[in-house]
Amino acid sequence: MITQSVSTVLVLGLSLLSFAPLCFCGKTNGGYLYPQFYDRSCPKAQEIVNSIVAKAVAKEARMAASLLRLHFHDCFVKGCDASVLLDSSGSIISEKSSNPNRNSARGFEVIDEIKAALEKECPQTVSCADVMALAARDSTVLTGGPSWEVPLGRRDSRGASLSGSNGNIPAPNNTFQTILTKFKLQGLNVVDLVALSGSHTIGNARCTSFRQRLYNQSGNGQPDYTLQQSFAAQLRTRCPRSGGDQNLFFLDFVSPTKFDNNYFKNIVASKGLLSSDQVLLTKNEASMELVNKYAENCEIFFEQFAKSMVKMGNISPLTGSRGDIRKSCRKIND
């Protein structure tokens, strides 16, 4: 009798443990996100995402940064709910046409390919929001960055917010204070801001994103003198006063396809490409200390980047019965 009750307690304890949120779980409205969410319903989910992301990044190194950015642009608008993936239709006005995303957000075809493979393996099980969170992690790892367990269980939104996309996503020419405020509105702090900005260690920016630094930073016809002048002169050759808007430049010119801490070293050397990169050093004491710390120690940067990515991935997800599991990431279910 005693043995039986002890074993019952043990079994009960263990079964409760299997549902307990382990280390990387975020408490969200309506339930927990946890890394084992698909272990039974779609055990190959992570493997499928990883193999398609790996193929896409091997074909085009830039895709890693694009997929990472897509997750960021999703989470900052109504939470991590795959709203950024919806095309315009009926009452939905797509976030793809917002200022931060127009001619800029990319990687949608890779997400489509992942989703099609997942639908074949386990129909209507894995959300588009979770696909983006996993693709962001895999893109980081594939380019040499840190890994982390991705909490899962997000569901997909039934709508989009063009105004949210225009208003909530930090812009390259925003002041430090505006950028920090946009992060704080999402429950993120200055440490998250500096660490997540480190994702600019990979990827490109368009001439239009930093032109004002080269010619007219404060509206007085003067360049931004916090930009190292010979570097600025080099940039002007391919980013003229007018024209060349879509010309691409590496965000980290030292190791543009490797996820490392050169982004921070560049900022310390006054060679951050965007104004939003350089202000991390010049406009705030706390962020300046963090930039210097990450420039000196890649390991500390990697550790914080992983933590901040989990935190960002926990912004207001739809869980439980809220939202849907979309069949196609581009449109809401019929």
**pLDDT tens track for 86-138:** 999 999 999 999 999 998 999 999 999 999 999 999 999 999 999 999 999 99
| Catalytic residue (one of 73, 155, 213, 326) | 73
CA angle 89, 157, 276 (to 5 degrees): 95
The single residue listed with the structure tokens 């009798």 is 1
C-alpha torsion sign, points 70, 265, 308, 53: positive
77 known ligand binder: yes
CA angle 225, 184, 93 (to 5 degrees): 95
CA distance 284 to 9: 54
The pLDDT, as a whole number, for residue 326 is 98
277 known ligand binder: no
200 known ligand binder: yes
Containing H/E element for 248? strand 248-250
Comparing CA positions, the residue from 315, 303, 292 lying closest to residue 27 is 315
Q: Read off the pLDDT of residues 32-49 as tens digits, 9 standing for 90 and up.
A: 899 999 999 999 999 999
CA distance 71 to 73: 6
Confidence of residue 11 (pLDDT cuts 50, 70, 90): very low
Residue 73: active-site member = yes
Confidence of residue 31 (pLDDT cuts 50, 70, 90): low
Give the predicted TM-score (pTM) of the model: 0.90
8 A C-beta contact, residue 295 and residue 267: yes
324 known ligand binder: no
CA distance 279 to 119: 44
Q: Residue 42: phi, psi to the nearest 5?
A: -160, 70
